[in-house]
Structure 1
Amino acid sequence: MASNRGVVYLGPGKVEVRSIDYPKMVNPQGKPIEHGVILKVVTTNICGSDQHMVRGRTTAPTGLVLGHEITGEVIEKGKDVEYLNIGDLVTVPFNVACGRCRTCREQQTGVCLNVNSARAGGAFGYVDMGGWTGGQAEYVLVPYADFNLIRFPNKEKALEKIQDLTMLSDILPTGFHGAVCAGVGVGSSVYVAGAGPVGLAAAASAQLLGAAVVMIGDMNPERLRHAKSVGFEPIDLTKSDKLEELIEAVVGVPEVDCSVDAVGFEARGHGAQHVTEAPATVLNSLMAITRPGGAIGIPGLYVTEDPGAKEEGAKQGNLRMRFGLGWAKSHRLYTGQTPVLRYNRQLMMAILHGRLPIAKIVNATVISLDEAPRGYHEFDTGVARKFVLDPHGMVKKAA
């Protein structure tokens, strides 16, 4: 039998590369399927959402194979797969979606009704998302392949841009979704909370959509320097408790047209409170600075259970939000998993035609599968990098 290795969560702060089962054409309940493909993983990325689990901030079980950002080569397909061929290079949405249910038909693939018996929505290698094995591995099964996968039109050219195209599985569509939901358009003033990879992707998306000015806030000096180096206006949140003052110093008024939360539930306070965990602080600050009638895109992750929360209510996902402020200002708040299939084809074309150098913007850093534990450790320290795993050395060879 063919071998396989993957990145396995072993408890808070600990991941290892271990031997795992080679994928079979069965779903997590053991039922045989014929609509899937087995991929040789070309790239698979470490995501901030993975870090929430590895920090012990979710109910993720030990033994979970991590990884939901996958690009791969088809090496085996079920008899019901009609439109993909062996050897195709494909991008994999992190959403597992059936393509048949009501929500999938409405392009709400982040909340597919058929791939997770516990709740709406499925994902690879993630807690409470249906039990689908993760893709930080050498090989992985992808179900409902004809619906979910997009084949790159030219394999050779795609490999030349693989460090950009690997971002299509999650962070680029997620950042784009945040910007679109926030109503970003030509001439918009935009504030993005969080200068990690998703925040940088949201900022790049805002520029692509025509924003006049894009500010990005963080407390990490390295991330702020990098954000400035790739063309965004950095906002140092350690400088003031009031985000309005920091915004006004840049644009002359204490408000923006559009804002994006790319931080999520592990947020910390601003100014003197920047070392204190405050899970609702980003949402509250965005309601304070977003203009009346404006919108807030919230691609940052919020969980139903956070066993590591400092606040008792936050352990069950309850936040101290100033919802009345958002109501009074007629804000529109958009939350939830990004429906990747709604965006990834047009973003692929923007990359292939040189409009979106996302690998440079998020500082893609390629490492081997065996170096994954080091990548997790360094990413957790706040380095301004997006780690891309190269399980078979194909990225290195293409470079």
Structure 2
Amino acid sequence: MTNPMISVFDGHNDTLLRFAMQTASTPEALFEKGDGKGHFDLPRARAGGFTGGMFAVFPPPRDMPDMSRSMNGAAYDMPLPPPLPHHGAGDWTARMVAILLRLERAFPNDLAICRSAPDIRAAMASHKIAAVLHIEGAEAIDRDLMMLDVLHAVGLRSLGLVWSRPNIFAHGVPFRFPSSPDTGDGLTEAGRDLVRGCNERRILLDLSHLNEKGFWDVAALTDAPLVATHSNVHALCPSARNLTDKQLDAIAESKGVVGLNFATCFLRSDGQMRADTSLDDMVRHLDALVERLGEDGVAFGSDFDGAIVPAEVGSVAGLPNLLDRMRQAGYSEALLAKIAHGNWLSLLERSWA
């Protein structure tokens, strides 16, 4: 008997950046047909049951480090790029937001930008990809939060204060292994204002990439559930990017959600970025997340187009392979549906209300 296709709403991808950096083809062509590269395009999304997710706007550093080469030793501490100037971040942010807007305009039957939970449910019911605009690294936002209003009007509904480099709002965690996430100072006063501004506008706050002090600063300020869209379990993989048991307990207490990051360096016990990583490593983290957060607190946050993922997944088309492995590990169909999409939809309904 063939297993049913389960719809997947994913907490994080970097596809807009891949499209923005590709000069050989247009974003519309890359979305419609793909180019055999990366992790995401419309045909592979349909094949994998991908029905929506957070589409990240990530302003890249001038010189993007080669993470696949830097994160393969027994221990590493990858140097972070310097802070990104506000004007440069603004240019990249506008470019990626425009790409998402153009994809919606070019493919009205295949993709919809969603600004509410009912929007997501309507898009999924119409077999459209439900795209939520997300910011990963708030360098494009000014101290007075004027750009936050502009982005919110366009459709911004989820925001991570930092990528791993520092900015005027907060300090991120380095790509360091093994390491605690307690790596520096917490939120600045501007960061506290940004948290309050997001709460007022009902913009989800993403704690992934934020260091531990920043995590606790947000937890003390926010009136919304705590969310890490793409993070894993520090007890199983002691990367600075992963969450400690104490952090996971705080997310559980707030009735928040953690999306499993598919990046192999945050899955493997040796912290290495290698495609020959077993799906069993993914299930190991899912088991630990379910144990700590409960069945309502766990989801997917793939990091497609932003990391090396296990070869057995390979791309968005390989999502059924992970779901089948979860079945083999004893996950019920009801729990699979929760982790694949139900928990994100419930969380967004509560966070955006």
TM above 0.5, yes or no, is no
TM-score bracket for the superposition, by shorter chain length: 0.3 to 0.5
What's the TM-score, normalizing by structure 1?
0.31
The higher radius of gyration belongs to 1
Higher strand share: 1
Task: Give the number of the structure with larger relative contact order, counting CA–CA contacts within 8 Å between residues 6 or more apart.
Answer: 2
What's the TM-score, normalizing by structure 2?
0.34
Higher helix share: 2
